[in-house]
Structure 1
Amino acid sequence: MLALTLVASAAALTATPALAAERPEDAAAVAAQETYPTLFAEEMARAETFVDAMMAEGITVPVPRDPGGGYTHEQHKRNYRAMLLAGQLYELTGEQRYFAFVRDMLLEYAELYPTLGDHPARANQNVGRLFWQVLNDAMWMVHAVQAYETIRDDLTAAERQRIDDDVFRRAADFLSVESEATFNRIHNHATWATAGVGMTGYLLGDEELVQKALYGTAGDGEAGFLRQTELLFSPDGYYTEGPYYQRFALLPFMVFAGAIDRNQPDLEIFEYRDGILEKALLTTIQLTYDGYFFPFNDAIRDKSLNTAELYEGVAIGYAVTENPALLDIARFQGRTVISQAGLEMTRALDAGRAEPFPFRSLLFTDGPEGDQGAVAVLRDGTGPEHLAVVIKNASQGMGHGHFDKLSWQLYNRGEEIVRDYGAARFLNIEAKEGGRYLPENETWAKQTVAHNALVVNERSHFYGDRDLADLSAPTQLAFEAGEAFQYSAASIDDAYPQDGVAMTRVLALVEVEGLSQPVTLDVLRAEGQRNATFDLPLHYSGHIMRLGFDPARNVAERPVLGSGHGYEHIWVDGRATPDAAGSFMTWILDGRFYTYRFVPTQGMEVILGESGANDPNFNLRREPLAIQRVDGVQAATFVSLLESHGLYDGAAEQTVESDSQIAALRHHRQGAYDLVTIETLAGEEVAVAISWDADPNATHSATFEGREITWQGYAARVVLTGGE
């Protein structure tokens, strides 16, 4: 029997007698003697409840009609989930009702599938048969073929032939031949398609299907599953479309790899590219905060480690690697899968083998060779209240990428303080464009001003042209994760090729004596060839408590900031030209205060606004932002700092340190160097010295207030008074 049901290796198979019973008719006796680990038993009970409810409703295989979120769409999704779980329950219990349910449903699909043409709700995506887009057909097949594997040997010859020919061979032909353009892409849609076709090939003993899945329809290796592992992941395991789609693609990568490992162990798929699939799994987990994925690019914000893809990925990953840190993630999830991999993992968890997962500051390069920028994650502290800065210096991310070079986000105390909008989409809610991406995904969510990234002349990076953006990526210049000073530095010089603007940005976590948490320092240099308008937005979460400046407020009417590239979606609430002493704003979120402080340059204007203008269908979230604007200059340097401080307890009616503890933020330019000094109310003073020199061994020296400061490398923290 072919091991397609989420198993990772032949060694894992022989290690678990309950699932290695030769045939399901023997499984009931084995199961009766088996004491399952708690987590596995709970998952098994959950599966029984779902499948029993589906069986009680009767088998329903409707003629496809609806887009995402509609009745037929959701029913076919429920069907493939129920088939897979029923098949796994059949293997575990030997109960014939589970066998009959899978058999009868697949026979119903054998009646339906030959009658299908293009889905009637097709839109701009590649059209499917059972679903409105071919991606969902591939997802159906990945699940259904695993279910079929559990019952195929127990069917009559006629039943087996009928399902082989009228369901799986037809579906494989549709995915690989009729949808060849999708199948041969380097993209998550193709990952699902190749996985479904390849596992079908193994199950049916069809070498041609296996070869197509592994090497593409031309068989030359320029497409197919193996090529996807080469081109979609960086050497660090970062998936080019971002964490949200890395989570989504992980399931077919891991499940198909398990099938490859079982059927063609000579390919050594889990050792391929220096263990790229294990790296991908660990990187997927690292790209989270408090369990939720960092929501940049086309991300749905509510996706977390508690998803089907990660339940299966963590189980398979543990079966392959026996990494005890993955047990910690399984414990956090409180869920698993009722496969052999899930059983092995939960046994190890019950045996107390878990070790804490090492969330830490890391740099993840982007691109197949690791030379297309990077994503930097800076962390301070542990647990759900730790501080984390996410810095996106990565490539465009294909069609799901946003125009947000050198952007960043900040998390603290379980909240996203400096935000990324993610996708403008209500997934599978039919009332919102059939669950598809909304028009505002293009006009707002992807545009640069919707991110914490520099905008020139109110136009997005690469002028909003994806083809142009695909040709370029930032350069990661430096990264360091020390105890008192962590930073990332990156640059890009062709985000505005017509304007000749180059930008370099340093983002750092800086410890300052007397402050409860490190401050986040942001230094951004921009230089162009002609006078321009430079806008630096900050999208924040919270309610304004105090402004150091007095803006001209728009209380009767809210003007719109601009007319394109996302500016048409910004209401203007106020404008100000602050002085050095008043260049700050403080807001509160979840009982914590945050002060954003910046160094004003000559003529700098601050614009306070909110998203949601020109949104007649109420598709956008209303979220605040502040923009630092410098107009009519050829070059600009933005120096900003974000400080978390104080506490507010509404129940106790108690407020502590609601005002900033920083007395001054100063910027000094000395030749090629920049010095930023941070002074607290208690008199502590720290400097951050930036050389802008990517040579990590170079030594630099500058004079500040009569004192010589010497440092090595790109940037350094220097204590000027008190402290360490």
Structure 2
Amino acid sequence: MRMTKHTAVLQVLICILLISLNGYSQEHPNLILTKDGVQKIRAELGNAPLFDATLAKVKAEVDAEIALGIETPIPKDYSGGYTHERHKRNFLILQKAGVLYQILNDEKYALYIKDMLFQYEGMYKDLPVHPQTRSYARGKLFWQCLNDSNWLVYVSQAYDCVYNYLTKKERKQLEKNLFRPFADYISIENPQFYNRVHNHSTWGNAAVGMIGLVMNDEELIHRALYGIEDDGLPIGAKDNDGGFIKVEGQEVGFLANVNEPFSPEGYYTEGPYYQRYAMYPFLIFAEALHNVKPDVKIFEYKDSVLLKSVEVLIKLSDADGEFFPLNDAQKGMSYKSREVVTALDIAYHYGGHNPELLSIAEEQGQVLLDDSGLAVALGIRDGKAKKFQKKSINLTDGAKGNEGGVGILRYGNEDMTLVYKYAAQGLSHGHYDKLSFSLYEKGTEILQDYGLARFVNIEQKGGGNYLKENTTWAKQTIAHNTLVQNETSHFGGKYEVGSKHHSELYFFDDSNPEVQIVSAKETNAYPGTEMQRTMALIKTDGFEKPFLLDILKVVSKTENQYDLPFYFKGQVMQTNFDFTTPKTLEAWGSANGYQHLWTEGIGSPKEDNTKLSWLENGHFYTLTTTSSKDDDLRFVRIGANDPEFNLRRDAGLVIRRKNTQNTTFVSVIESHGNYSPVSEFSVNSNSAISKIELMSDTNEYTSVLIETKSNGEQLVLVVANINKQKDKEHTITINGKEYRWTGPYKFIKVK
């Protein structure tokens, strides 16, 4: 048969189409680095100081690893153990080597990646499940599928960078024996890990999706975005932490993990520590989708919530950049972590080039070696950086923003910061601490949240995993600065109960920087008991610095015992009450966290106000609280029933009010003065308050008086407990004097 010119052209077109459908016409790299982006990066080398410095550092690191040779040991260890850390190091270095190959065009990096990938290919096809049995979803390279997913998220980027360096036969071998089985194992073979809404699943979804994008495997990409359709899991299945794996009617997959845990403005329900961890797969997979599957419009999904969440995460940090330890959280984690470097660069590049993000990037001191990192480095080079403004903010929780939230009140340049939690449970990493708070002066904790009980990646401490004390102490209500009723935790410490409820914002007002206030209610933590906590950050004459006014109103149908702890950091200076110290330490209780508290001192009030002063980081602090003559005052220290010393030995003061139905705790926390160990001078070491008084307390109104020592001025805060409408007019008579105002509260200065 004679072939015409048109027939030949048609056959060529069909061949091109078939090749395209089989994925062989894809340009690589196209996942994070792009072909055009690499050219731009090469053109700017030597002209973007932060990018150049990062490149030099990464090159030195990878060159050192190449010199050591490749090692892929048979897995056997928990987090922190040698095999765990070696495989973790491998995936980090593979990703960096891929970037270096593309930017520097040096074949030694591609060869290193190829050799290591084939070493893993030879190992993986016969690799059994990891020998450590602690996880609800055991991996193969690591003790849990979570870390296996980490590996694939990073290694998929390396594979993309050397895709065209490898032959078709080599790619087929890797995909058949390593990448496809790997993706199937962490997803289809472990649906209890993969098919849920949780930071674990986010990593799993991103891992399957990213290798799917490199391989041009539409089935894997669909599985990443939408989960496994028929996973065979029973409704109500749980993981090791007691969190639900499968909830009836809940969607799964990457898009569900974007939609469900984030509130509309970008607060992540598990808290900032786990938001930081999840931001890497969220943003790196989003960038990959943007580059390869722009039709998904991932950066526009849910009103661009992924991009907004990066700025929210930074706002959830103290003056030193360390994240507030809400829910499970290791203290000291900050926005300098590699995950936030990734998230910030991508958010800057794709989110409108916010110049305030550049100032955070300057603090981070490094950038991604890709298009987004180059954009950040060029912005800094060109002097576009502006200081990031961390102001007061109320962040809602829940997918629709209707499941409580976190209120942050800041005065000045973070001179004083209140973190007030009235949020949802926070999935399996949540704590039972409704209406709890912590207080900061700059980066100093005045009143602290404990955080988690875990030594991450330290093998000596439980293999680097969560310790049992995380459940018996850190999650329990008594571990937080909030009310405990009858020595039981909120919701009985039961996840299946707590996950159904959240506190409700009553009002939030930061319009006046001198008097900022937030109020929320909780009605489900203890059935039959309603708590309303109103907290005001106030700066006024007679006080050197801002102070915190805390009003905790409790209304119950029955008589109860109430404990209100304050966990302070520092050295006790003075009290205005007498207390006895036991000769032998005993645990305060036997359950719900009380078994971990030593009783170090027991006293009772001598006056209508109880005062405790302490010194921390060169500053004096005083807690003044209204007292009942029958109150018990107890100094406690964490560490009882802790034979392996897993808990910090932090101190607290607990106010116990027994045989009480309705009551209101009123407290003020001041920062004042300073002490220098060099000059040995003490300045303004005493409280500025002569007294605080609960003037009136009814169903409708609560009013509090604060009297200063310096000028005898009286400060009055009145809160309307029922009607919070801004246009509602109120009238109340206190001690024969009538007060009128509009709105949910009124702050008054009385001479």
TM range (shorter): over 0.9
> What are the within-5 Å matches in structure 2 for residues 502-651 of structure 1?
502-554=530-582, 556-580=583-607, 583-651=610-678
Aligned partners of 2:508 and 2:518 also within 8 Å: yes
Change (3 A) 1:637 1:3: farther
Moved more, 508-517 or 224-233: 508-517
- Match for residue 451 of structure 1? 480
- Is 2:216 the counterpart of 1:205? yes
> What are the within-5 Å matches in structure 2 for residues 5-404 of structure 1?
6=32, 14=36, 17-19=39-41, 30=42, 34-218=45-229, 222-289=251-318, 290-321=320-351, 322-382=353-413, 386-404=415-433
- Match for residue 243 of structure 2? none
Aligned partners of 1:5 and 1:339 also within 8 Å: no
2:680 and 2:339 map into 1 onto residues whose CA distance is 44
2:638 and 2:159 map into 1 onto residues whose CA distance is 49
- Match for residue 674 of structure 1? 702
Aligned partners of 1:569 and 1:611 also within 8 Å: yes
1:200 and 1:102 map into 2 onto residues whose CA distance is 16
2:273 and 2:38 map into 1 onto residues whose CA distance is 33
Aligned partners of 1:230 and 1:368 also within 8 Å: yes
Aligned partners of 2:78 and 2:459 also within 8 Å: yes
1:602 and 1:525 map into 2 onto residues whose CA distance is 18
TM-score, normalization by structure 2: 0.91
What amino acid is aligned across from residue 360 of structure 2 in structure 1?
A: I
Shift in Å, 1:3: 5.4
1:688 and 1:91 map into 2 onto residues whose CA distance is 63
2:505 and 2:454 map into 1 onto residues whose CA distance is 31
What amino acid is aligned across from residue 312 of structure 1 in structure 2?
A: T
- Is 2:741 the counterpart of 1:711? yes
Shift in Å, 1:15: 6.5
What amino acid is aligned across from residue 71 of structure 1 in structure 2?
A: Y
Shift in Å, 1:18: 3.2
1:227 and 1:447 map into 2 onto residues whose CA distance is 29
2:445 and 2:508 map into 1 onto residues whose CA distance is 23
What amino acid is aligned across from residue 86 of structure 1 in structure 2?
A: A
What amino acid is aligned across from residue 666 of structure 1 in structure 2?
A: E
Shift in Å, 1:165: 1.5
2:394 and 2:650 map into 1 onto residues whose CA distance is 29
Change (3 A) 1:711 1:511: farther
Shift in Å, 1:602: 4.3
What amino acid is aligned across from residue 218 of structure 2 in structure 1?
A: E
Aligned partners of 2:355 and 2:384 also within 8 Å: yes
Moved more, 100-109 or 667-676: 667-676
1:206-246 Cα shifts (integer Å, max 9, x gaps): 10111111111119992111111110101121111011001
What amino acid is aligned across from residue 409 of structure 1 in structure 2?
A: S
2:618 and 2:548 map into 1 onto residues whose CA distance is 19
- Is 2:500 the counterpart of 1:478? no
Aligned partners of 1:474 and 1:492 also within 8 Å: yes
- Is 2:452 the counterpart of 1:423? yes
Shift in Å, 1:292: 0.3
1:175 and 1:73 map into 2 onto residues whose CA distance is 17
Equivalent residue of 1:112, what SS? Answer: helix
1:476-504 Cα shifts (integer Å, max 9, x gaps): 1110112211111111111112xx11111
1:602 and 1:661 map into 2 onto residues whose CA distance is 23
TM-score, normalization by structure 1: 0.95
- Match for residue 27 of structure 1? none
Shift in Å, 1:156: 1.7
2:28 and 2:263 map into 1 onto residues whose CA distance is 31
Shift in Å, 1:472: 0.6
What amino acid is aligned across from residue 597 of structure 1 in structure 2?
A: T
Change (3 A) 1:230 1:2: farther
Aligned partners of 1:493 and 1:501 also within 8 Å: yes
- Match for residue 23 of structure 1? none
Question: Unaligned 5+ residue runs, structure 2?
Answer: 1-26, 231-248
What amino acid is aligned across from residue 506 of structure 1 in structure 2?
A: T
Aligned partners of 1:486 and 1:510 also within 8 Å: yes
1:3 and 1:98 map into 2 onto residues whose CA distance is 15
Aligned partners of 1:292 and 1:303 also within 8 Å: yes
2:604 and 2:540 map into 1 onto residues whose CA distance is 29
1:19-47 Cα shifts (integer Å, max 9, x gaps): 4xxxxxxxxxx46x732411111111111
1:169-217 Cα shifts (integer Å, max 9, x gaps): 1111112211122211011111111111111111111101111111111
1:15 and 1:261 map into 2 onto residues whose CA distance is 14
Shift in Å, 1:670: 5.0
Shift in Å, 1:301: 0.8
Equivalent residue of 1:332, what SS? Answer: helix
1:177 and 1:314 map into 2 onto residues whose CA distance is 32
Equivalent position to 1:501, from 529, 538, 557: 529
Equivalent residue of 2:606, what SS? Answer: coil
2:741 and 2:541 map into 1 onto residues whose CA distance is 20
1:298 and 1:125 map into 2 onto residues whose CA distance is 18
What amino acid is aligned across from residue 595 of structure 1 in structure 2?
A: T
- Match for residue 407 of structure 1? 436
Aligned partners of 1:6 and 1:341 also within 8 Å: no
Aligned partners of 2:608 and 2:627 also within 8 Å: no
Equivalent residue of 2:419, what SS? Answer: strand
1:602 and 1:702 map into 2 onto residues whose CA distance is 28
What amino acid is aligned across from residue 541 of structure 1 in structure 2?
A: K
Equivalent residue of 1:83, what SS? Answer: helix
2:546 and 2:208 map into 1 onto residues whose CA distance is 51
1:715 and 1:518 map into 2 onto residues whose CA distance is 19
Shift in Å, 1:579: 3.2
What amino acid is aligned across from residue 556 of structure 2 in structure 1?
A: G
2:85 and 2:312 map into 1 onto residues whose CA distance is 31
Aligned partners of 2:603 and 2:632 also within 8 Å: yes
What amino acid is aligned across from residue 210 of structure 1 in structure 2?
A: I
Shift in Å, 1:696: 2.6
Aligned partners of 1:6 and 1:316 also within 8 Å: no
What amino acid is aligned across from residue 579 of structure 2 in structure 1?
A: P
Shift in Å, 1:5: 5.0
1:641-673 Cα shifts (integer Å, max 9, x gaps): 100001101101111011111111111115421
2:197 and 2:186 map into 1 onto residues whose CA distance is 15
Shift in Å, 1:570: 0.6
1:241 and 1:122 map into 2 onto residues whose CA distance is 25
What amino acid is aligned across from residue 696 of structure 1 in structure 2?
A: K
Residue identity (%): 39
Change (3 A) 1:468 1:676: same
- Match for residue 22 of structure 1? none
Shift in Å, 1:381: 1.3
Change (3 A) 1:134 1:15: closer
1:587-621 Cα shifts (integer Å, max 9, x gaps): 00011000000001241111111000111111110
Equivalent residue of 1:429, what SS? Answer: coil
Aligned partners of 1:521 and 1:641 also within 8 Å: yes
Change (3 A) 1:151 1:366: same
